[in-house]
Structure 1
Amino acid sequence: MNITILFPTQTEASQFQRDDVSTMISGVGLTATALATMKAIQQYQPELIILAGIAGVYPHAPFKKYDVVLVETEVEGDLGFFTKTGFVHMAHLPIEMEFERRHTLACPHLSLNSPFRLAKSMSLNAALAPFVDVQNIDIENMEGAAFFHVCLQEQQKFLELRAISNIAQIGDDDWDMQGSVKVLTEGLHQLIDILQGQG
């Protein structure tokens, strides 16, 4: 299978080495990821493209640091505007159902024999934004919604794999970048082996 891996940063890619896949560094954030995803699709024409990176977990979610998850849905969490009563997400405008379909993006390619649990994710250009609604969200990152959007628009088969590096709350600075990248790399090899029919 022709697989391409997108990593947001060189750090997240630093422990990964494999000859049977293509890799690209997308850059951090939604705009850079949208551009890199389109470039990867055009350049490599993959059968499957995987976004692989670290993520923060919200305190209420059933995950912990060093868990590796597949992302089932992405929401661009800070897409909206402020009013006198607070932040209003685009999905909460009067035409709610139409915007909900447009802004909660689902991965339709999860029917594989996978050992990974599924997580609901929110993408933010401003990490730890205190005004977003996270009650039905498990993890946050800074790229996934753009990646989902481009892949869905281009009818590109895709998956997103995330390793938990920290608790996503202001004041909790207990990050372990190297430890989370290590489990991300192990999980990515395991996922590719399954996809390549070796696992």
Structure 2
Amino acid sequence: MRILIVAATLFEVKDLISDLGLSISDSGQPEIYRSSLSSQVTVLITGAGMVATSFALGKQLATNQYDLAINLGIAGSFDRSISLGDVVEITEDTLAELGAEDDEDFISIDELGFGQSVFNSTYKLSARFGLRKTNAITVNTVHGNEASIYKLGSRINAQIESMEGAAFFYACRQVGLPAMQIRAVSNYVEKRNRDAWQIGLAIKNLNTFALEFLDWGRSAKSR
């Protein structure tokens, strides 16, 4: 199985790249990691945000074919029942800001009739991994203001927040590529409080899942 792993930043998947023995194979941006020993796995570092993700994926998918794309990254959680460090599967993701304001009301791109804002995972992850299925929003500005968090909550009951997920789902859908999104929670969505973040734990757990998934895929193929 040819797998494309997509991450916004190198530090989120650096341990995975090292453990797989991958090396950079493209001197330009975005960064691409491959290895002759792991030729079925490619890691694409897109840069943070929807614009960078869309460009990098469009460029990569125009000239390469894969059987599965996986978006890996850390994220914030609105849902306090999800513990910091937990790894979750995003099965639905929404472009929360795409639309128009009508005074105090928000009109989604769907309601305007100009497009779609909600996208879903198109790969069924085995229940053996035991990941909680969640929904998410994708934003340009992560929330850190109580008023904006409350206003968003009255419109969308989101559990997870990232800056790339829905754009990833959209790009994969456009080329018919099965896709899943896996996030590890590094912080709660609240007034910015870096002292409470658990980035190291989230990255460790995220990379552990990725290695387990790839090992499972190899063993399943050999059976």
Q: Same fold (TM over 0.5)?
A: yes
Gaps of 5+ in 2: 22-37
Distance 2:6 2:112 in 1: 36
The one-character-per-residue Cα deviations of 1:35-72 (angstroms, maximum 9, x if unpaired) are: 112223234421111111001010x3531211101110
* Cα distance in 2 between the residues matched to 1:150 and 1:191: 23
Q: Higher helix share goes to which structure?
A: 2
Q: Which residue in the other structure is 2:191 paired with?
A: 170
Indicate yes or no: 2:67 matched with 1:52: no
Check whether the contact 1:78–1:132 (CA below 8 A) recurs between aligned residues: no
1:119-138 alignment, distance < 5 Å: 119-128=134-143, 130=148, 131-133=151-153, 135-138=156-159
Q: Which has the larger radius of gyration?
A: 2
Aligned with 2:118 (options 101, 104, 114): 104
Alignment of 1:1-199 (within 5 A): 1-17=1-17, 18-19=20-21, 20=38, 21-58=41-78, 60=79, 62-91=81-110, 93=111, 102-115=116-129, 116-128=131-143, 130=148, 131-133=151-153, 135-173=156-194, 174-197=196-219
Moved more, 22-31 or 110-119: 110-119
Residue 87 of structure 1 and its aligned partner are, at CA, apart by 3.4
Alpha-carbon RMSD across the aligned residues, in angstroms, is 2.3
SS of 1:105's partner is strand
Structure 1 window deviating more from structure 2 (169-178 vs 181-190): it is 169-178
CA contact (8 A) 1:57 1:63 kept: yes
Kept in 1, the 8 Å contact 2:99–2:112? The answer is: no
Query: Within 2, Cα distance between the matches of 1:81 and 1:172?
Result: 30
Please tell me the residue identity of whatever aligns with 2:200: Q
- Partner of 2:29 in structure 1? none
- TM-score normalized by structure 1? 0.86
Counterpart Cα distance in 2 of 1:114 and 1:140: 25
Q: Is the 8 A contact 2:71 2:181 kept in 1?
A: yes
Q: Could you tell which deviates more after superposition, 16-25 or 116-125?
A: 16-25
2:7, 2:209 → 1: CA distance? 14
Judging changes above 3 Å, is the alpha-carbon distance between structure 1 residues 65 and 87 closer, same or farther for their aligned structure 2 residues? Answer: same
Distance 1:114 1:33, change over 3 A: farther
Q: C-alpha distance in 2, partners of 1:191/1:39?
A: 26
Aligned residue for 2:15, secondary structure, equals coil
Amino acid at match of 2:174: Q
Aligned residues: 193
TM-score of the superposition, structure 2-length normalised?
Answer: 0.78
